[in-house]
Amino acid sequence: MTTPTCPYTAGAALDPADAAFAADPHPFYAALRDRAPATRVRLANGSDAWLVTGYDQVRGVLADARFSNVPPRGAGRPKPDSPGQQARALLARHMLNTDAPDHVRLRHLVTKTFTPRRVDALQPRIHELVARLLQEIPRDAEVDLVDAFAFPLPVLVIGEVLGVPPADRDALREWTYQVGSPAHTLPPGALDDAWSSLHEYFKSLIDNKRRSPGDDLFSSLVQGELDTDELLAMAFLLLFAGYETTMNLLASAVLLLLTHPEELAEPHWPHVVEETLRHASPLEGATWRRTVEEVELTGTRIPAGASVLGVLAAASRDPLRYPEPNAFRPQRWADERTPPSLAFGHGPHYCVGARLARLEAQIALPALFEAFPGLQLAVDPGQLPYRPGLLVRGPRVLPVRTR
Ligand code: HEM
């Protein structure tokens, strides 16, 4: 296999906002991986980062306590000089940004609540939400499936998990959308207002659950040992870890199926979902880690204090683990020797919502193709815009013709 030359190893800065890179970063990751499973790269913002691209090495980083999840103080964060930014800083103190022993305590409280049985009990509600969204999609029309389906469904499902009253879900959806958008695309002040609104909303949600708990998962957490600040950050993490990732999984699966129509003949949905997670990893990179001491990774020395990104999307296309890694082949999951993709991470921070995300996709995808058997892409797939950045990956819009 020939791999294109990678400009980023030749000293040029990697600009994650570059549209060509966002559209297809895989040739670059392949070139980095060919060179070494961990490579130091200069980013366009002037900082240095180590990108880890080999399957075994990414797995190793995610399970190794020498790579810390605690962000360096103040790094990459705007100064909390407005109520909106103060709310943002408070909501960021969640367990994905902690190491043991704090992390073990926080995570145990969540996994105690997020049992497989309770997650599976959401099944009938997910069917109802999917059916309602599909009814609202017009027939014989051009529709953006991200806007009409892939975005609202995960937000509505997290609304169920958090026990958000149905009347509040539109507001939650709107604030979620705004805090996930670059400030310059919103009216002045809107971003700060959205952060403050989310903060206020979660605060009153916690008060309500304390007074009258429901049978939702979040009510059980509120009854547990977490204090109010920890509950606020937890509500925020569940919302944010769960919505854009699942949105990307749904949108990428639809895109892959529409561009590989032979896979729609007799789809095995769990295999379609696994292969989408591998081929189009919804999180491109894990969250940033920082080395607490010098670490040697397959012959490469990473100094103490380095920023390290385990590139999940690259690991899940490592040819040492997956034959023909760039091909979309759901059947590969029929072979039980296929190693699990790293789409949900690995080790102590392994995704708490993996079961829920799989369940959601396995309900939503067949229902969509049953409702619209003649679904077609309305644009050239090569022209679809992708969200810039190294952390999440998926088409920003997905225009289709419904039939
Ligand atoms: C396709 C959908 C999803 C993908 C691809 C995904 C992926 C991931 C990954 C890779 C991590 C680990 C990140 C790291 O180690 O830096 C993670 C953590 C996490 N995810 Fe998910 N996730 C998805 C959906 C969800 C959902 C639906 C929820 C909640 C209901 C959720 C909740 C969490 C939480 C709470 C963590 C932090 C766990 C910890 O720090 O111990 N995720 N997710």
Query: pLDDT tens for residues 272-317?
Result: 999 999 999 999 999 999 999 999 999 999 999 999 999 999 999 9
Query: For position 186, which CATH number holds?
Result: 1.10.630.10
- Note the pLDDT of residue 389: 81
What are the pLDDT digits (tens) for 60-113? 999 999 999 998 875 545 556 788 888 888 888 899 999 999 999 999 999 988
Ligand 1 centre distance from Cα of residue 350 (Å): 7
Q: Single out the residue of 169, 343, 318 nearest to residue 248, CA to CA.
A: 343
pLDDT at 387: 79
- Asked, for residue 305, whether it belongs to a domain, the answer is yes
Please report the atom of ligand 1 found closest to the CA of residue 62.
15
Q: How many CB atoms are located within 10 Å of the residue 300 CB?
A: 15
In a domain, 186, yes or no: yes
Q: Which H helix or E strand runs over 85?
A: helix 83-91
With 0-12 / 13-18 / 19 or more C-beta atoms within 10 angstroms meaning exposed / middle / buried, residue 87 is buried
pLDDT at 175: 87
Structural domain includes residue 2: no
Helix ranges restricted to H, 180-321: 190-211, 217-222, 228-259, 269-279, 312-315
pLDDT at position 3, please?
A: 44
Q: Any residues with CB less than 8 A from the CB of 336 and at least 6 apart, and which?
A: none
Cα(265) to ligand 1 centroid in Å equals 31
344 CB under 6 A from ligand 1?
yes
Sheet holding 376-377, edge to edge: 142-144, 399-401, 376-377
Q: Is 356 in the pocket of ligand 1 (CB under 6 A)?
A: yes
Question: What pLDDT, on the 0 to 100 scale, is given for residue 368?
Answer: 98
User: CB of 250 closer than 6 A to ligand 1?
Assistant: no
Q: Could you tell me the residue range of the domain that residue 37 belongs to?
A: 7-401
244's CB contacts (< 8 A; 6+ apart) are 154, 180, 282, 392, 394
Give a yes or no: residue 1 inside a domain. Answer: no
Query: Residue 240 C-alpha to ligand 1 middle, in angstroms?
Result: 9
Is 219 within the bounds of a domain? yes
Tell me if 166 is assigned to some domain. yes
User: How many A from CA of 180 to the centre of ligand 1?
Assistant: 16
Q: 286: Cβ below 6 Å to ligand 1? A: yes
pLDDT < 70 positions in the chain: 1-11, 74-80, 182
What's the whole-model pTM score? Answer: 0.93
Instruction: State how many domains the chain has.
Output: 1
Residue 342 Cβ contacting ligand 1 at under 6 Å:
no
318: left (phi over 0), alpha (psi -120 to 50) or beta: beta
CB-based contact 105:230 (threshold 8 Å): no
Span from the CA of 246 to the centroid of ligand 1 (angstroms): 10
Check pocket membership of 129 for ligand 1, CB cut-off 6 A: no
60 within a domain of the structure (yes/no): yes
Determine whether the shortest distance from the Cβ of 282 to ligand 1 is under 6 A: yes
Q: Is the peptide bond before 101 cis (omega within 30 degrees of 0)?
A: yes
CA of 262 to the centre of ligand 1 (A): 31
Ligand 1 binding pocket includes 402 (Cβ within 6 Å): no
Q: Which atom of ligand 1 is nearest to the CA of 356?
A: 27
CA-nearest residue for atom 38, ligand 1, is 349
